[in-house]
Amino acid sequence: MTNDNKVLTEQEQDFIKRRRRRSIAIAVVLAALVVIFYAITVVKLGPEIMVRDL
């Protein structure tokens, strides 16, 4: 890995910073979807959520 010590250009650093922020944004959206689906399930099914034929 001869390139490990290569100094990143300003443009590359900026790109990495943007990509990192995009990744965080996607993570936040996914986490929000999990919460939303969980909440919808609980609200729509209520206590019935425990009633199921096995």
Partner 1 sequence: MAYAENNSDTLETVSTGRVEDYFALLKPRVMSLVVFTGFVGLLVAPGGVHPVIGFVAILCIAIGAGASGALNMWYDADIDRVMSRTMNRPIPSGRIAPGEALGFGMTLSVFSVAILGLATNWLAAGLLAFTIFFYAVVYTMWLKRSTSQNIVIGGAAGAFPPMIGWAAVTGSVSLDALILFMIIFLWTPPHFWALALYKKGDYEAAGIPMLPNVAGERVTQNQIVIYTVLLTITGFGPVLTGLVGWFYAIPAAVLGVVFSVLAVRLRFSQGAEMKRRARVVFTYSLSYLFVLFVALLADVGLIRWFGGVS
CB closer to partner 1, 43 vs 54: 43
Residues 6 or more apart from 39 whose CB is under 8 A from it? Answer: none
Task: Please tell me whether residue 39 binds partner 1 under the rule CB under 8 A.
Answer: yes
Task: Please tell me whether residue 31 binds partner 1 under the rule CB under 8 A.
Answer: no
3-state secondary structure of 9: coil
Sign of CA dihedral 9, 15, 17, 19: negative
User: Rule CB under 8 A: which residues touch partner 1?
Assistant: 1, 3-4, 6, 8-9, 11-12, 15-16, 18-19, 21-22, 24-25, 36, 39-40, 43-44
